[in-house]
Chain A
């Protein structure tokens, strides 16, 4: 929560353009720059425009707000920027967004995102009573359970996310681990709200979630989404929410290593999309791959850009709902779908419900859906458990 300093530091960007690239400079790795190609949509462009806005050299406009909000906060720029301030870049963007929120100057789609989360506890304006409609009788969290499974908004309401949640529940049940969900009592984790700059609403969500977790005696949380994992692990503690937080791939990998889950033989060629909030934000690159490689007969192939150079699906910072990067063959998810297909894989594995929904849609738009399946790692694992 150091965004408030951004105004005194943001002039330090030289707009050198390293932020646009992956490590080997082979292509453009900033999702919004790759989509729009005006320099304004790169991190350097954004930081210069924010500074101009602060100095009064550029007036606020919907276009300025759109430039600011098309950043998916994927952290590629943080990886590539050669300057000492690199780790602060996302905080600066979030800080500027916070100022825009305070002034009520945000794109309408972002405003609707906030209204939905504020009014319904999710960005889809779905009823709270339907939050567990996916769960098919999944056990509610009770004192003594080892883990709280935090499903999140996409897992609760999005069709693809729901399938992912059900698979994960089935795999966890098969492993014998004790866990439960919050069902209708679950709130939005707030990661997107934080990244979009709605500080007040974010704090409110953290307080509600933390209080609920404490009331129930939750010690360990396993999240479906890397976005929830990121916010609960890295941002909640500063606001009093101290819990042991895991992403589900960490748990599944441990269960496999401890022989609690034994995948059967498969015949599949799979490539894997590193989610930004798992990889670049939390340095979790190996566990998802180890799960896939634990499946006998599964061949894991890498896309040209992977791990810290992975190309974002375009869904971060609420873009899986606001969709500010859509509408073009240059939309990040469509580019990524084509890259996955070029590996020769028959399956594109993901570990994030946002990636799942963005890439599933992109594969369909690219007419690749009969050639490339998009599946979450828990779905892949479940398939080969069922075959046992």
Chain B
């Protein structure tokens, strides 16, 4: 194996490869609850060609490769289950193009959401991208690979729906372009009118290849952004409220939160509505539309808008949301994880009841945020539980609760988002056999030596 180490050094330079215990320890874990497994090497390529050389080496030596971005999925997707090489892609950090006319950006695999946000704010202030609530170190590519959602998902779908092209190093080492960029230097479409081959890589967690460049669609960045807060104590009304709001086509983002603390929050459902506009008139008009859509609940006293004072707004409007990260330390334990099924919005009430039931059963602090996706075609519902890293028993209880939540979500028509390897097996067991065979055939074709993030999307 020292030959592999020497070869990696030759490819990326000695400063950017490690087989030391400290890097192996850190890169063998993520902040979630999946068991660790250490890599033999951590390598940080700078270019597509270096990625290609690493993949060729891994094929020759039959060494597993696990590509890694920010490492924040929490479900162990970058834990190298069979050791080998963890490929930290964050040195590939160039924003290669921002095309204002066609409204897309082309980024390398390690570009963070924070960096793209900052670049657009400074140099292209009329454009924005869909920023997830994960910390700013989350990379554009990794977030698309897990079908992440962001602040524009209510209007535009999953962040992966906003991809406008890919450059991929296949599991066999060839460099391949996907979409319009396969024909020209323009990155405006990831598929149509061609066969959409991006589906061979998005959602596969690096088990079919390494995405080295990605085109991301950009959208208007309006001058004003504001937030409204609708409160109801009736969970059953939430899907109906969402449907009415989505119907207006005026709301940028809709998130429903539920948590037991502070006590005034328990039993209440806070529906956050984000509005954008280029003038106060536009904002007022959109607010009026939202008001009118929900007036019926005000009249029936089932809910109403809560005043959001100026001092309350900054944390709501922050992108990314630091409050989401702070949830990890509400009980001074440093940990939280969530199971986040993608599900029809009418499943809000049963999911919520299960969330509370599991919290009570396993004595855990909980919270939930449900983000509406693509005009209400689905939602991401998070079963979120905190845990104390210094309390193994609580970690075990949290893991059990999450496992049960995932099982429940599948039974209740949901599809688990960024599933861990156990949840992947649960999904594949329920999957149409022909669909599973198709997935298996694709995986074998693209990764014949089984070196790409092995363990993921592998049917037993």
A39 cross-chain contacts in B, Cβ below 8 A:
26-27, 71, 88
B277 within 8 A of A: no
The 0/1 profile, CB within 8 Å of B marked 1, for residues 47-61 of chain A is 011011000011101
CB distance from A52 to the nearest CB of B (A): 6
Q: Let me know if B333 and A36 touch, CB within 8 A.
A: no
A16 within 8 A of B: yes
Q: Let me know if B26 and A49 touch, CB within 8 A.
A: yes
A259 within 8 A of B: no
Given the interface contacts A52-B25, A61-B20, A85-B329, does A21 sit within 8 Å of B114 by beta carbon? yes
Looking at the complex, which of A22-30, A104-112, A278-286, A295-303 is the stretch in contact with chain B?
A: A22-30
B115 within 8 A of A: yes
Q: Let me know if B322 and A57 touch, CB within 8 A.
A: no
- Residue of B whose beta carbon sits closest to that of A14: B328
Identify the interface centre among B20, B44, B137, B336: most chain A CB within 10 Å of its CB.
B137
A275 within 8 A of B: no
Per the bound structure, the CA–CA distance linking A156 and B322 in Å amounts to 45
The 0/1 profile, CB within 8 Å of A marked 1, for residues 333-377 of chain B is 111100000000000000000000000000000000000000000
A85 cross-chain contacts in B, Cβ below 8 A:
329, 332
Among candidates B18, B70, B114, residue contacting A25 with C-beta atoms closer than 8 Å? B114
Q: Let me know if B31 and A61 touch, CB within 8 A.
A: no
B329 cross-chain contacts in A, Cβ below 8 A:
12, 14, 83-85
A17 cross-chain contacts in B, Cβ below 8 A:
70, 72, 135-137
Per the bound structure, the CA–CA distance linking A145 and B34 in Å amounts to 65
A25 cross-chain contacts in B, Cβ below 8 A:
112-115, 117-118, 136
Given the interface contacts A16-B135, A17-B135, does A11 sit within 8 Å of B389 by beta carbon? yes
The 0/1 profile, CB within 8 Å of B marked 1, for residues 1-43 of chain A is 0000000110111111110110011110000000011111000
CB distance from B338 to the nearest CB of A (A): 13
Q: How large is the interface on A (under 10, 10 to 19, 20 to 34, 35 or more residues)?
A: 35 or more
Q: Let me know if B326 and A82 touch, CB within 8 A.
A: yes
| Interface of chain B residues 27 through 75 with chain A (CB within 8 A) | 27, 29, 31, 42, 44, 70-72
CB distance from B409 to the nearest CB of A (A): 24
- Residue of B whose beta carbon sits closest to that of A9: B332
Among candidates B26, B72, B119, residue contacting A26 with C-beta atoms closer than 8 Å? B119
Among candidates B18, B26, B88, B333, residue contacting A12 with C-beta atoms closer than 8 Å? B333
Q: Let me know if B136 and A83 touch, CB within 8 A.
A: no
The 0/1 profile, CB within 8 Å of A marked 1, for residues 9-34 of chain B is 00000011010111101110101000
Per the bound structure, the CA–CA distance linking A27 and B389 in Å amounts to 30
Q: Let me know if A58 and B21 touch, CB within 8 A.
A: yes
B325 within 8 A of A: yes
Per the bound structure, the CA–CA distance linking A11 and B114 in Å amounts to 25
Given the interface contacts A67-B22, A82-B326, does A16 sit within 8 Å of B333 by beta carbon? no
CB distance from A314 to the nearest CB of B (A): 16
- Residue of B whose beta carbon sits closest to that of A59: B21
- Residue of B whose beta carbon sits closest to that of A63: B20
A132 within 8 A of B: no
Q: Let me know if A14 and B325 touch, CB within 8 A.
A: yes
Q: Let me know if B326 and A83 touch, CB within 8 A.
A: yes
Q: Let me know if A16 and B328 touch, CB within 8 A.
A: yes
B135 cross-chain contacts in A, Cβ below 8 A:
16-18
A40 cross-chain contacts in B, Cβ below 8 A:
22-23, 26
Q: Let me know if B335 and A14 touch, CB within 8 A.
A: yes
The 0/1 profile, CB within 8 Å of A marked 1, for residues 104-116 of chain B is 0000000011110
- Residue of B whose beta carbon sits closest to that of A20: B137
A27 cross-chain contacts in B, Cβ below 8 A:
115
B20 cross-chain contacts in A, Cβ below 8 A:
61, 63
CB distance from B209 to the nearest CB of A (A): 23
Per the bound structure, the CA–CA distance linking A61 and B390 in Å amounts to 24
CB distance from B130 to the nearest CB of A (A): 16
B126 within 8 A of A: no
A328 cross-chain contacts in B, Cβ below 8 A:
15
A64 within 8 A of B: yes
Q: How large is the interface on B (under 10, 10 to 19, 20 to 34, 35 or more residues)?
A: 35 or more
Q: Let me know if B118 and A57 touch, CB within 8 A.
A: no
Given the interface contacts A17-B137, A18-B136, does A63 sit within 8 Å of B22 by beta carbon? yes
A123 cross-chain contacts in B, Cβ below 8 A:
none
Among candidates B44, B323, B326, B334, residue contacting A37 with C-beta atoms closer than 8 Å? B44
A45 within 8 A of B: yes
Q: Let me know if B22 and A49 touch, CB within 8 A.
A: yes
The 0/1 profile, CB within 8 Å of A marked 1, for residues 159-172 of chain B is 00000000000000
Q: Let me know if A82 and B322 touch, CB within 8 A.
A: yes
B22 cross-chain contacts in A, Cβ below 8 A:
40, 49, 58, 61, 63-64, 67
Q: Let me know if A16 and B31 touch, CB within 8 A.
A: yes
CB distance from B118 to the nearest CB of A (A): 4
CB distance from A304 to the nearest CB of B (A): 9
B460 within 8 A of A: no
CB distance from A91 to the nearest CB of B (A): 16
Q: Let me know if A38 and B325 touch, CB within 8 A.
A: no
Among candidates A8, A21, A36, A52, residue contacting B136 with C-beta atoms closer than 8 Å? A21
B151 within 8 A of A: no
B430 within 8 A of A: no
Q: Let me know if A18 and B25 touch, CB within 8 A.
A: no
B70 cross-chain contacts in A, Cβ below 8 A:
17
B264 within 8 A of A: no
| Interface of chain B residues 74 through 129 with chain A (CB within 8 A) | 88, 90-91, 112-115, 117-119, 121-122
A48 cross-chain contacts in B, Cβ below 8 A:
25-26, 29
The 0/1 profile, CB within 8 Å of B marked 1, for residues 126-164 of chain A is 000000000000000000000000000000000000000
Given the interface contacts A24-B118, A38-B18, A59-B21, does A45 sit within 8 Å of B333 by beta carbon? no
Per the bound structure, the CA–CA distance linking A52 and B385 in Å amounts to 23
Per the bound structure, the CA–CA distance linking A15 and B26 in Å amounts to 10
- Residue of A whose beta carbon sits closest to that of B17: A38
Per the bound structure, the CA–CA distance linking A67 and B20 in Å amounts to 12
CB distance from A296 to the nearest CB of B (A): 32
A14 cross-chain contacts in B, Cβ below 8 A:
31, 325, 328-329, 334-336
Per the bound structure, the CA–CA distance linking A57 and B26 in Å amounts to 11
B21 cross-chain contacts in A, Cβ below 8 A:
58-59, 61, 63-64
Given the interface contacts A45-B26, A61-B21, does A26 sit within 8 Å of B115 by beta carbon? yes
Per the bound structure, the CA–CA distance linking A39 and B88 in Å amounts to 9
B388 cross-chain contacts in A, Cβ below 8 A:
11
A84 cross-chain contacts in B, Cβ below 8 A:
326, 329
Given the interface contacts A26-B118, A57-B25, does A37 sit within 8 Å of B91 by beta carbon? yes
- Residue of B whose beta carbon sits closest to that of A35: B15
- Residue of A whose beta carbon sits closest to that of B136: A25
CB distance from A77 to the nearest CB of B (A): 13
| Interface of chain A residues 59 through 87 with chain B (CB within 8 A) | 59, 61, 63-64, 67, 82-85
CB distance from B127 to the nearest CB of A (A): 16
Given the interface contacts A11-B388, A38-B44, does A18 sit within 8 Å of B335 by beta carbon? no
Please list the 9 inter-chain residue pairs (A to B) with the smallest Cβ-Cβ separation, ordered nearest first: A25-B114, A17-B137, A82-B322, A26-B118, A12-B334, A14-B328, A11-B389, A16-B135, A25-B136
For this complex, 9 residue pairs linking A to B, each with C-beta atoms less than 8 Å apart, are A11-B334, A11-B390, A14-B329, A17-B70, A17-B137, A21-B114, A37-B44, A38-B26, A63-B22
Beyond the given pairs A38-B26, A49-B22, A59-B21, 15 more chain A to chain B contacts, judged by CB atoms under 8 angstroms and listed by A's residue number, are: A11-B334, A11-B388, A11-B389, A14-B328, A16-B135, A18-B325, A20-B137, A26-B122, A36-B15, A38-B44, A38-B88, A57-B25, A83-B326, A83-B329, A85-B332
